[in-house]
A and B are shown apart, each in its own frame.
Chain A
Amino acid sequence: MSSVSLRPDKIVAEHLGLTYVDQGTPGQARRNVVLQDFNLSVREGEFLSVLGPSGCGKSSLLNILAGLVRQTQGDVRIDGQILSGVSRKLGVVFQGYALFPWRTVIENVEIGLEIRDVKRAERREQAAHFLSLVGLQAYGNHYPHQLSGGMRQRAAIARALAYGPEVLLMDEPFGALDAQTRESLQSELLAIWEKSAKTVVFITHSIDEAIFLSDRVAIMTRGPGKVKAIMDIALPRPRDDSVRNSAEFLALRQRAWEWLKTEVAETAQPA
């Protein structure tokens, strides 16, 4: 996708650092460096995955981008403007859905619009549109606990899309799903993304998922987290499941694995 490389930067993280002071036992405060000198540019309209072993600070990165956690060093810029707190340009899909159990599916989807004081009838209509986009038009009046895991995740995606953010931040959204549901949701997500022209930052620990979905994959080192390498995924789009068996795909996966291998090996020991 050479066209992507010409696009302007949407999100730029510069020298990002995050250090917690862990006060486990009194008097023995320990500094916990989660991110250090983390640099990354996400281009407008691209699908970028952040791939790394568990505990590398991926989720902390997402929380900083979402404006939920304040970094201790460095800056994040969105469209050139320094990010301070929550930005309305961003929508987040959380690990584990985070659907409100006391709201029906459609009420969940319209919550972002409710926060923006959109009138009831209008937000209903909007929410219904995004529900049908993810194929849940028949389940609007169900409660989240009445849906399967895959359907819940689709509802969560519809909720993040419904209020029209320019960037979608996704934190291992398919992590809790079985392999088959996971693959079909990946294809669905690509179809939605191709129609919507949004920038996506997708956090995952699955190599296959990252390669299948992305224009580029940023591979992270184990904590303190920083970007170790960025891979261009030049697989043609639109992609379908057959791409998973192509020689290019396997070669990319091999390369990603080479990068990641040392990190995983290091994580496996302490914990």
Chain B
Amino acid sequence: MHNRSSATASLPASEPFASGATASQSKQPALPAAPSRVRAHAVHIFERSIALVAFLLLWELLPRVGIVSSAYLSPPSAVVVAIAHLFATGEVWKHLGSSAFRSIAGLLLAVAAGIVSGFLLGWFRRAERIADPLYQLLRQVSAFALFPVFMLFLGIGESSKIAIIVWAAFWPVLLNTLAGVKQVERIFIDCARSMGATQKFIFTKVILPAALPQILTGIRLAGAYSITALVAAEMIGARSGLGFYTLNSQETFQIPDMYAGIVLLALFGLLINYGLSMLERKLLRWRVGIAQNG
């Protein structure tokens, strides 16, 4: 974002702006064309929002002017009302709660399993050589294809739904952890060993932090996959959850409610992603500025 705005800031500034607001913009040394930064910021906000606004307008208009039947497509204003109603009645918490529990439980299990197996396979090269063909095959098996199998073994309750999420979210964590562990520079491990570090110390204090950037990339992917799997799981044999609510609304012709479910699912996905990127920022604070200095 910074690169972007400074690129626009270097455009020739035509009219001078009142420069009072520029100080709060950035702590970087002031550029000669300081007033244009306000303008650059405005341009930036405009650019970032125009597509969204146009989309919402189009969505509102299509059913309103009758190009698309409102029986199929509810305008966003009606969706907002439906969402507000969901919150007013408190019904939203039941569905959101179920969805949050399933996806977070599934994600946590997948992350734990993925990191542990990624470590084992990354550290024991022989184990990786043996396991590689197997997991290359297994990771191609769609979580949705396995749902009947999970239902068979685990029944129709929470565990089969969580299992499908674990399956979907496990692979990116495993593969990224594995790659991260394999890429840890030899010299870091040698250095710790030369000081007499135990295997446990090397795992937790050298390999884990060194591989963490890649592991976190895997976890963010897993977050996105877990939402996809969540929706699918909730559309088959569930009685609560945002996925259930969405499908159920369609089946009962509550079309604005159906769109409300979709919008809430998207917002929930955004929230998970935001949470994970905050986690990433916090854990990788040491990397700030590393690109510039090597």
**Interface positions of A (Cβ within 8 A of B):** 63, 66-68, 86, 88, 90-92, 94, 96, 98, 100-104, 111-112, 114-116, 143, 145-146, 163
Contact = CB atoms under 8 A, between A and B. Distances in A.
A101 B290 contact: yes
A96 B205 CA distance: 20
A143 B286 CA distance: 7
B188 to A, nearest CB: 6
B187 A163 contact: no
A160 B195 CA distance: 8
30 contacts: A63-B190, A66-B190, A67-B193, A67-B194, A68-B190, A88-B196, A91-B195, A92-B195, A94-B187, A94-B191, A96-B187, A98-B187, A98-B188, A98-B190, A100-B206, A101-B286, A101-B287, A103-B209, A103-B286, A111-B195, A111-B205, A112-B196, A115-B192, A115-B195, A115-B197, A116-B196, A143-B286, A143-B290, A145-B290, A163-B195
Nearest to B208: A102
A92 B191 contact: yes
Contact of B209 (A91, A102, A112, A163): A102
A115 B193 CA distance: 10
B156 interface: no
Given A101-B290, A116-B196, A94 B209 contact: no
Contacts of A96: 187
A86 B197 CA distance: 9
Given A102-B212, A145-B293, A68 B194 contact: yes
A125 to B, nearest CB: 19
A100 B290 CA distance: 13
Nearest to A163: B195
A111 B209 CA distance: 14
B200 to A, nearest CB: 11
A94 B191 CA distance: 8
In order of increasing CB-CB distance, the 5 nearest A-B pairs are A92-B194, A98-B191, A112-B195, A102-B209, A145-B293
A16 to B, nearest CB: 18
A66 B212 contact: no
B201 interface: yes
Contacts of A111: 192, 195, 205
B263 interface: no
B190 to A, nearest CB: 5
Interface in B257-294: 286-287, 289-290, 293-294
Nearest to B202: A115
Interface string B201-241: 10001100110100000000000000000000000000000
Given A92-B191, A94-B191, A102 B196 contact: no
A78 to B, nearest CB: 14
A226 B192 CA distance: 28
Contacts of A145: 289-290, 293-294
**Residue among B188, B201, B210 with the most chain A CB within 10 A?**
B188
A100 B209 contact: yes
Query: Chain A CB within 10 Å — which of B205, B206, B212 has the most?
Result: B205
Contacts of B196: 86, 88, 112, 115-116
Interface string B167-207: 00000000000000000000110111111111001000110
A163 B206 CA distance: 18
B194 to A, nearest CB: 4
B217 to A, nearest CB: 16
B194 A86 contact: yes
Given A67-B194, A98-B190, A103-B286, 16 more contacts: A66-B190, A66-B194, A68-B194, A86-B195, A86-B196, A90-B194, A96-B187, A98-B188, A98-B191, A100-B206, A111-B192, A111-B195, A114-B205, A115-B192, A115-B195, A145-B294
A83 to B, nearest CB: 13
B187 A102 contact: no
